[in-house]
């Protein structure tokens, strides 16, 4: 992908007509570049085809297929709509500029220049959003995602931390307009959850949530400790993309072990209690998936197979990445076990991402789902190749 052109810094507090012309030229050049590396023409054709498909009678007869078409439509629209908005803004600025040239009244001219200043700022903002969107142009980025949280060692403390993270991702998904479905949940012995797997659907769900893959660290005064001591808890999050239909993953029957069991849950809070839960084990890789969200064993098995294929695909991709890292001498900054972020509640409040340096002292807002800034910082740093090693121990207290 061609690197997006960085927008110039202009002093718009005392804007001149010459600055407007130069800025307009830069915006037009940037728009032309984005049309190329964002494949806008191809995306527009795909969007037109998808929108036409949605108008065919009987479109909603197959609701699962219809939902996929809607998701693909939203994914293409996420590029095409802001591109068209920026193109229109640029044309509006050009028209306003022509009016300024013809304006002889000094007061009216100054007012028009101030209006141009506001229009340029709005166009810059739109261009920045488009440049950021270019970071979500990977093959799997537009897909849904499977996320699995595993509580670390530490018993009740870590299980409670896993439950807090599940709540955080629920809130984040609600804010983004994503849907979240719990597929499997193992409650903690006393509180919280030992592990939970959930599916997230929405435009670029995987593209955003892949930034959360890794180990999350909590430092706080334990509510479970009568002596009110400070505890450190860990929880690991795995994120894999839900595969598109055109990606084939072969799973031989002889490589698959199928177990059925009665589903459990936190008092019915997270999951349906049925007798149809499915656990699939892919014996060559040791990958295990479980689904208990449906009352139908057939539906649970279908969901489990979809998730298993996604995990096997990611396993193979990780293997290729590890081989490349060994060949090029990489240090493994993307290792799944790396501590990516710390959340400190005591003795001070701070959430800090160790890969990017992004931080937020409003820890409650973060735990309420305000994590988009962390995700965007990760995506930008990843594109620039400036991700740092994850070393929470060096930066934050135990």
Half-sphere exposure of 196 (CA within 13 A, CB side): 28
Average pLDDT, the chain: 84
What is the pLDDT at residue 324? 52
State mean pLDDT over 136-143.
Answer: 86
State mean pLDDT over 36-62.
Answer: 92
DSSP string over 334-382: T-TTSEEEEEE-SSS-EEEETTT--EES-HHHHHTT--HHHHHHHHHHH
Residue 353 buriedness (CB in 10 A; 0-12 / 13-18 / 19+) = buried
Task: Examine the pLDDT at 271 and tell me if it is beyond 70.
Answer: no
Share of the chain above pLDDT 70, in %: 86
Structural domains of the chain in order of their starting residue, each with its CATH number? 12-136 (1.20.58.410), 145-395 (3.30.70.1660)
Residue 313 buriedness (CB in 10 A; 0-12 / 13-18 / 19+) = middle
What is the pLDDT at residue 325? 52
Handedness of CA 302, 137, 383, 352 (dihedral sign): negative
191: its two tokens: 């509180």
The C-alpha atoms of residue 277 and residue 389 are separated, in whole angstroms, by 39
DSSP label at residue 169: H
State mean pLDDT over 9-34.
Answer: 79
Confidence tier at 248 by pLDDT (50, 70, 90): confident
What is the pLDDT at residue 389? 65
What is the pLDDT at residue 240? 93
**Of 118 and 110, more confident:** 118
Number of other CB atoms surrounding residue 47 within 10 Å: 20
Among 51-65, 97-111, 222-236, the minimum mean pLDDT is found in: 97-111
131: its two tokens: 């440049």
Overall pTM surpassing 0.95 (yes/no)? no
* Tens of pLDDT, residues 341-394: 999 998 899 999 999 999 999 999 999 999 999 999 999 998 888 887 654 443
Beta carbons of 127 and 89 less than 8 angstroms apart: no
The C-alpha atoms of residue 39 and residue 55 are separated, in whole angstroms, by 25
Beta carbons of 7 and 128 less than 8 angstroms apart: yes
What is the pLDDT at residue 354? 94
Instruction: Identify whether 347 is preceded by a cis peptide bond (ω within 30 of 0).
Output: yes
What is the pLDDT at residue 323? 60
Confidence tier at 246 by pLDDT (50, 70, 90): low
């Amino acid at each position: 992908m061609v690197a997006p052109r960085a927008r110039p810094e202009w002093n718009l507090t005392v804007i001149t007509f010459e600055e407007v012309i130069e800025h307009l030229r830069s915006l037009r050049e940037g728009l032309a570049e984005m049309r190329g590396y964002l494949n806008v023409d191809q995306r527009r054709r795909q969007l037109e085809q998808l929108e036409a498909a949605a108008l065919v009678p009987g479109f909603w007869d197959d609701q699962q297929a219809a939902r996929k078409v809607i998701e693909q439509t939203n994914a293409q629209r996420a590029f095409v709509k802001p591109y068209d908005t920026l193109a229109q803004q640029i044309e509006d600025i050009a028209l306003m500029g022509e009016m300024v040239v013809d304006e002889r009244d000094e007061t009216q001219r100054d007012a028009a220049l101030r209006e141009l200043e506001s229009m340029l700022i709005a166009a810059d903002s739109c261009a920045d959003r488009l440049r950021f969107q270019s970071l979500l142009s990977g093959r799997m980025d537009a897909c849904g995602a499977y996320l699995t949280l595993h509580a670390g060692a530490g018993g009740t403390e870590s299980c409670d931390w896993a439950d807090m993270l599940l709540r955080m991702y629920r809130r984040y998904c609600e804010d983004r307009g994503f849907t979240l479905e719990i597929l499997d949940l193992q409650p903690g012995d006393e509180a919280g959850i030992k592990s939970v797997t959930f599916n997230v659907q929405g435009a670029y769900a995987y593209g955003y949530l892949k930034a959360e893959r890794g180990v999350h660290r909590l430092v706080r005064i334990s509510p479970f400790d009568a002596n009110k001591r400070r505890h450190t808890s860990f929880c690991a999050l795995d994120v894999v993309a839900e595969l598109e239909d055109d990606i084939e993953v072969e799973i031989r029957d002889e490589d698959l072990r199928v177990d059925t069991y009665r589903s459990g849950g936190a008092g019915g809070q997270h999951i349906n209690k049925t007798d149809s839960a499915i656990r699939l084990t892919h014996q060559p890789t040791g990958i295990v998936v479980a689904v208990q969200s449906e009352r139908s064993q057939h539906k649970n098995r279908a969901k489990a197979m979809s998730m298993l294929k996604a995990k096997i695909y990611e396993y193979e991709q990780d293997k290729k990445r590890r081989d490349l890292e060994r060949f090029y001498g990489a240090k493994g900054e993307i290792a799944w076990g790396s501590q990516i972020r710390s959340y400190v509640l005591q003795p001070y409040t701070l959430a800090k991402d160790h890969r990017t340096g992004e931080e937020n002292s409003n820890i409650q807002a973060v735990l309420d789902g305000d994590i988009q800034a962390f995700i965007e910082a990760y995506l930008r740093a990843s594109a620039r190749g400036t991700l740092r090693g994850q070393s929470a121990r060096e930066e934050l207290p135990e």
